[in-house]
Structure 1
Amino acid sequence: MGVFWDRGYHDASLPDLLEGMELSRGSFYKAFVDKRGVYLRALDVYIDDAIRKTGEILHSNSSPKAAIKDAFSRQVEESSGKEGLRGCFVVLSAVEMLPADEEVSARIARLFRRLQDLYAAAIIRAQALGEIDPELDERTLARFLVCQIQGMRVLGKAGANRDATKAMVDFALKPLD
């Protein structure tokens, strides 16, 4: 994953992958068949991890509204400093591979759907508790929040600083008040 994340799919060579994975050529082909196979597996691992982490955070607090804010605080950290400059593997994959690659497109669409589902469920719980205005459409708000996260990751890649990112998050979360 690190090799693709740092170099992109097209610029990652087989020797780069073998070195990064500490595998021999034979072991690589036996496990993954080809470069595309390892790329799709790396993307799946990244996506599954992102969904799991987000779900854990959104269920970690008895206040769903606070949990949403906690999830955004994590995104501030991932979108600033050295980690922010590295960017998001999914965003980088989308820029490099879409719209031409249907398999990658389907994986990224699945990630965004699942993230939106997780945020929508947290919003519904918060609305039931009176923490968020029940008149707000949870699907629209969830899509807005996921868009904000992806935008933060792009800005982080461009060198946005932590304070600026935090200020943007505070503004983006105003609809929750």
Structure 2
Amino acid sequence: MPDLLEGMEISRGSFYKAFVDKRGVYLRALDVYIEDAIRKLGEILHANPSPKAAIREAFSRQVEESSGKEGLRGCFVVLSAVEMLPVDEEVSARIARLFRRLQDVYAAAIIRAQALGEIDPGLDERTLARFLVCQIQGMRVLGKTGADRDDTRAMVDFALKPLD
């Protein structure tokens, strides 16, 4: 608790007014992390006029977050899911909502790419989006084992083959 108060630069009374308890801080931190992840992905997927290239860029960034020292740190969502699910309903709901939102963002990019002729329109965008989210989460888990950057890039190339 002293580390939290010092890091947040607030008094014990202010802490309990704002968060009630340490769990409140944890849930708020998870909410912020989730919103930041959705915002960053949305920015990446809209930064390139080619949705297919934007998806590849999003995966390239995941390589950096899923390998080397960064990968060893892990992902707050993955670590929370492994530790807290399925017994913690509040955390479970947050993580399920995140995965649905990630799938929605990817599905929208896939639909744009299909309309531009970049991705086969016969592919189901929801299934493909779910597949992409699964690949990213798997990369994040492997990152905790010290995944090599080149191996992770090779996984990305393989995972994105359905987009070709």
Correspondence for 1:95: 82
* TM-score where L is the length of structure 1: 0.90
Alignment deviations for residues 24-77 of structure 1 (CA, whole Å, 9 cap, x no partner):
322211221111111110000000000000011011110000000000011001
Cα 1:59/1:149, change in 2 over 3 Å:
same
Correspondence for 2:32: 45
CA distance in 2, matches of 1:78, 1:32: 29
CA distance in 1, matches of 2:89, 2:74: 22
Correspondence for 1:151: 138
CA distance in 2, matches of 1:65, 1:20: 41
Structure 2: state its 5+ residue gaps: none
CA distance in 2, matches of 1:16, 1:159: 28
Of all paired residues, the percent bearing the same amino acid is 91
CA displacement at 1:19 relative to structure 2:
3.8
Structure 1: state its 5+ residue gaps: 1-13
Alignment deviations for residues 89-108 of structure 1 (CA, whole Å, 9 cap, x no partner):
00000111110111111100
CA distance in 2, matches of 1:75, 1:111: 16
CA distance in 2, matches of 1:87, 1:115: 18
Output the aligned Cα RMSD.
Answer: 1.0
2:71 is paired with a residue of what secondary structure? Answer: helix
CA displacement at 1:17 relative to structure 2:
2.5
Correspondence for 2:93: 106
CA distance in 2, matches of 1:58, 1:68: 6
CA distance in 2, matches of 1:160, 1:26: 43
Alignment deviations for residues 70-91 of structure 1 (CA, whole Å, 9 cap, x no partner):
0001100111111110000000
Correspondence for 2:108: 121
Q: How many residues align structurally?
A: 164
1:123 is paired with a residue of what secondary structure? Answer: helix
